[in-house]
């Protein structure tokens, strides 16, 4: 996609370098349009080297190419990060005295502003009125995060992290929203506290099926994605229960955690928590099979066992199908169910072939598809997922991105479907 990255003269201009990198590393074509003040913070050579394009602040360069009109007209997204109080005021009033403000007037694509400034400037009625005007006109204004500002002060006005801005930009383009919206920074990308009042159950980790007191059958799931999904839901205002299968990660305060070990324990805990939940997200990797019997004492090595040890397995229940069946038969449990499919391609089909078949079998409302393998997904900080929605053949791809970004993108997809 063709992105115009507008940068105005705030101290957070340095963070826009990372946002630019995120766009270019994901294959987007970026034209950086800084204001003259922005170049006081980060110089033109940096923007030019990172974007691979010439950079200009005013309308008098390369006039034969009419850049003050062409750049905005040909963009798929214009994002201004950071957006100063001054830039917001100019945009709200239609001023056009440099290349960025001209571009804002000629753009017919989604336009996003990520304001960053001291709390006093952000809260000033003039700034708030300008933000309201921009939103009324359909621009996307991403709320600044609360946190450390320039110097030692703390408050609202901090530029959200580049990964959050990147995810918010993708969500804006993906949803193609033309109506005024209120994006949020500081953790909740895509809707400020949009899960307030919702009860959410998230499962995370991988179950273990004991063979004897010291051994188990398990899988490589670390729980990182499930914990990220739980954290993102809590950040957006949900009351969250995390059913954690052998997860050793820190979980933020305020999230109720139920620890489980086996698939049967996971099933019981999820069903109990789902009774009054609005959404269940089954990010855990339950073992599909368990040993028929568990030895009470450690299974010993034996010279008689030249043929090896035979372990008989029985199939575990399918937790998602159980939740869907209970909802259909009795109307109990969560109205919205999200399944995860960790798939590998094989001779019988691609990852997506297997995932689509699984989605049909499960009957869930949304399925998150991961391609897995020794070097993919499990335990990693970054991942790529494909979201399948009920009633649609289209898959939405998110990533490669951090699991936090994927978690927010997932809630961006779920939240509008809840009512």
Q: Which residues bind ligand FMN (CB under 6 A)?
A: 8-12, 35, 37-38, 84-87, 116-117, 121
- Return the number of the residue (8 or 46) whose C-beta is nearest ligand FMN: 8
Minimal distance, residue 85 CB to ligand FMN, in Å = 4
Minimal distance, residue 379 CB to ligand FMN, in Å = 38
- Cβ contact 149:119 at 8 Å: yes
Minimal distance, residue 55 CB to ligand FMN, in Å = 14
CB burial class (10 A; 0-12, 13-18, 19+) of residue 119? middle
Minimal distance, residue 159 CB to ligand FMN, in Å = 8
Choose the catalytic residue: 130, 219, 246, 316. Answer: 219
- Return the number of the residue (15 or 403) whose C-beta is nearest ligand FMN: 15
- Return the number of the residue (35 or 207) whose C-beta is nearest ligand FMN: 35
- Return the number of the residue (98 or 271) whose C-beta is nearest ligand FMN: 98
Minimal distance, residue 166 CB to ligand FMN, in Å = 20
Minimal distance, residue 380 CB to ligand FMN, in Å = 34
- Return the number of the residue (9 or 206) whose C-beta is nearest ligand FMN: 9
- Return the number of the residue (78 or 244) whose C-beta is nearest ligand FMN: 78
Dist CA 377 CA 393 (whole Å)? 24
Let me know if 370 is a catalytic residue: no
Q: Which residues are catalytic?
A: 219
């Amino acid at each position: 996609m063709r992105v115009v990255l507008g940068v105005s003269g705030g101290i957070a201009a340095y963070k826009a370098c990372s946002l630019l990198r995120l766009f270019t590393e994901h294959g987007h074509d970026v034209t950086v349009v800084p204001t003259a003040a922005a170049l006081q913070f980060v110089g033109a050579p940096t923007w030019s080297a990172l974007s691979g394009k010439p950079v200009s602040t005013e309308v008098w360069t390369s006039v034969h190419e009419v850049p003050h009109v062409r750049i905005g007209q040909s963009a798929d997204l214009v994002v201004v990060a950071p957006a100063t109080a001054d830039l917001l005021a100019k945009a709200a009033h239609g001023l056009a005295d440099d290349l960025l403000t001209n571009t804002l007037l000629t753009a017919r694509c989604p336009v996003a502003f990520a304001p960053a400034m001291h709390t006093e400037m952000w809260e000033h009625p003039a700034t708030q009125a300008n933000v309201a005007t921009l939103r009324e006109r359909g621009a996307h204004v991403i709320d600044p995060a609360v946190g450390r500002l320039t110097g030692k002060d703390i408050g609202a006005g901090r530029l959200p992290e580049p990964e959050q801005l990147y995810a918010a930009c993708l969500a804006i383009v993906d949803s193609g929203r033309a109506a005024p919206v209120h994006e949020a920074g500081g953790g909740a990308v895509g809707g400020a506290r949009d899960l307030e009042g919702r009860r959410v159950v998230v499962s995370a980790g991988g179950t273990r099926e004991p063979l004897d007191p010291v051994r188990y059958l398990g899988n490589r799931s670390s729980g990182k994605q499930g914990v990220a999904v739980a954290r993102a839901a809590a950040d957006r205002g949900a009351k969250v229960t995390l059913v954690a299968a052998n997860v050793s990660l820190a979980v933020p305060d305020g999230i109720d955690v139920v620890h489980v070990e086996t698939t049967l324990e996971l099933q019981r805990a999820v069903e109990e928590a789902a009774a009054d939940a609005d959404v269940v997200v089954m990010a855990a990797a339950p073992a599909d099979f368990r040993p028929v019997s568990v030895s009470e004492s450690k299974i010993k090595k034996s010279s008689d066992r030249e043929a090896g040890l035979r372990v008989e397995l029985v199939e575990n229940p399918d937790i998602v199908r159980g939740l869907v069946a209970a909802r259909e038969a009795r109307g109990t449990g969560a109205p919205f169910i999200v399944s995860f499919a960790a798939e590998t391609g094989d001779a019988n089909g691609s990852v997506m072939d297997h995932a689509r078949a699984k989605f049909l079998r499960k009957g869930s409302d949304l399925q998150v598809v991961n391609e897995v393998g020794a070097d993919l997904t499990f335990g990693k900080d970054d991942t790529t997922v494909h979201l399948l929605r009920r009633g649609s053949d289209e898959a939405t791809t998110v990533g490669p991105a951090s699991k936090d970004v994927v978690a927010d993108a997932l809630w961006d997809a779920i939240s509008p479907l809840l009512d």
